[in-house]
Amino acid sequence: MNLKIAVLAGDGIGPEISVQGVNVMSAVCEKFGHRVSYEYALCGADAIDKVGDPFPDETYNVCQAADAVLFSSVGHPKYDNDPTAKVRPEQGLLAMRKRLGLFANIRPVQTFKCLVHKSPLRAELVENADFVCIRELTGGMYFGEKYQDNEKAYDTNFYTRPEIARILKVAFDYAMKRRRHLTVVDKANVLASSRLWRQVAQEMESLYPDVTTDYMYVDNAAMRMIQEPAFFDVMVTENTFGDILTDEGSVISGSMGLLPSASTGTGTPVFEPIHGSWPQATGLNIANPVAQILSVAMLFEHFDLKAEGTLIRQAVDASLEANVRTPEIQVEDGERYGTKEVGEWIVRFVRET
């Protein structure tokens, strides 16, 4: 297979983990006889600094022409700490999602046996946790009408029936492939937009009679994820709720550096780690590349290259079992590995297996 990949390294630790993801992808393609080419493009604060736009047209064109995008992270403190900034790195991420039509964010939440003790939750709560969060990505408050002055501000949580139906279809289809349990998360007791979500979901239930569908207010879902994460199979929700809940879910594994995600829709799909740019760690060789590497696994699986994805997952599991880990999950008094060393170990595993 020929693969054309757009690589958007972005800001902070992005360039460091991006290199490791590309190296693993190249090793897998070499092993399985695929041809892969990469085209690099600017985004985020790096793009603002260089061309004044966090997602310039040139980058959009590169993404549109690619089979997939391997994205890393955006964000920088000089924008985070300036509430008056008119252009922000995160606007590039939102623009990429909107312009590429990426309305579905898929975030698997899983635990690793050898790291259960690293979770902030008790081991007996998380050892069987394995669920997927599906977040609507191009609607809601992030894209609705906005206003701000010195006295008032508002964000409009706007959704249409077609937007809701298409993301619910993604969620029902995922549930059919898994344990056939879907939880629709909303705030229908307060929000009109949530009531429309619930109405559409209830109408669609009959199309998926083999799926057990339940409904949960977002505050209850947040508590249930901590109290009983193994309850969930597939969870679907709107943009803002999804942003919060998926970050909450990410720490169940013990490190935000472990979990990948995919954003899919009508255009070129994007595969990325769930974490941010962690600018304080830039250049220190301590960022965990596993989430970026597992994003590569999701990329292969998206194109139905299951053996390739499985090999990457086996390599990651083997590295964790061998205690080849970055500092935040390192075994006490064990040998220390950095971003580069973990990536190189996984590449060797791929080539030698």
Query: Is-catalytic flag, 142?
Result: yes
Query: Is-catalytic flag, 337?
Result: no
Q: Please tell me whether residue 2 adopts helix, strand or coil conformation.
A: strand
d(CA 234, CA 248): 15
Torsion angle of C-alpha atoms 44, 46, 49, 53, degrees rounded to 10: -30
**How many degrees, rounded to 5, is the angle at CA 218 between CA 213 and CA 221?**
65
The DSSP bridge partners found for residue 39 are: 6
List 142, 159, 174, 337, catalytic entry: 142
Assigned token pair, 265: 């829709």
For residue 228, give every residue at least 6 positions away whose Cβ sits within 8 Å of its Cβ, in sequence order, or none. 125
List 57, 82, 214, 219, catalytic entry: 219
d(CA 16, CA 13): 5
Query: Is-catalytic flag, 78?
Result: no
List 67, 80, 130, 243, catalytic entry: 243
Query: Is-catalytic flag, 243?
Result: yes
Residue 48's nearest CA partner among 58, 56, 39 is 56
Query: Is-catalytic flag, 219?
Result: yes
List 53, 79, 174, 187, catalytic entry: 187
Residues labelled as active-site residues: 142, 187, 219, 243, 247
